[in-house]
Structure 1
């Protein structure tokens, strides 16, 4: 299992659109094959910046999602709202404390 972190920055006026669409799509994303966890965070110092944090069973599962119609629909809507280029990281968990 690995973690995918995506940083997105939006024009202030588009944040309600992003949040509304995320609310509509979050269960579909979470239920994509191989997805085991999904959270959305908003930066405390810059409310235009959001992060998705998701756990995937394998890189192949993430790639399948990224090549799916669901991802296409989500991304086509979301990318129109950005005020900066998104950034993404795939990371392995090294340490986790309960």
Structure 2
């Protein structure tokens, strides 16, 4: 299992549209084959910056999601709202304490 972290920065006036869209698609993203976890975070000091954390069983699962109609629709909508280039990382989780 690995974690995908995506940092997105939005024009302030576009934040409500992003949040509304995320609310409408979050269960579909979470239900994608291989997805085990999904969270959305908002930066405390810069409210225009958001992060998604998603856990995937395999890299192929993430790639299959990224090639899906769902991702295409979500990304096409979301990228129009950005005020900066998004950043993404795929990382291996080494330690988790709960």
TM-score of the alignment, normalized to the shorter chain, above 0.5: yes
Kindly state the Cα deviation for residue 78 of structure 1 after the two structures are TM-superposed.
Answer: 0.1
Unaligned runs of 5+ in 1: none
Indicate yes or no: 2:70 matched with 1:70.
Answer: yes
Tell me which residue corresponds to 2:8.
8
**Counterparts in 2 of 1:74-89, with a 5 A limit?**
74-89=74-89
Counterpart CA distance in 2 for 1:45 and 1:94 is 28
**Counterparts in 2 of 1:1-98, with a 5 A limit?**
1-98=1-98
Counterpart CA distance in 2 for 1:27 and 1:96 is 24
Counterpart CA distance in 1 for 2:61 and 2:35 is 7
Unaligned runs of 5+ in 2: none
TM (norm. structure 2) is: 0.99
SS in 1 for 2:93: coil
| Aligned positions, number | 98
Counterpart CA distance in 2 for 1:70 and 1:97 is 32
TM (norm. structure 1) is: 0.99
SS in 2 for 1:81: coil
SS in 2 for 1:39: strand
**Runs of 4+ that moved beyond 4 A:** none
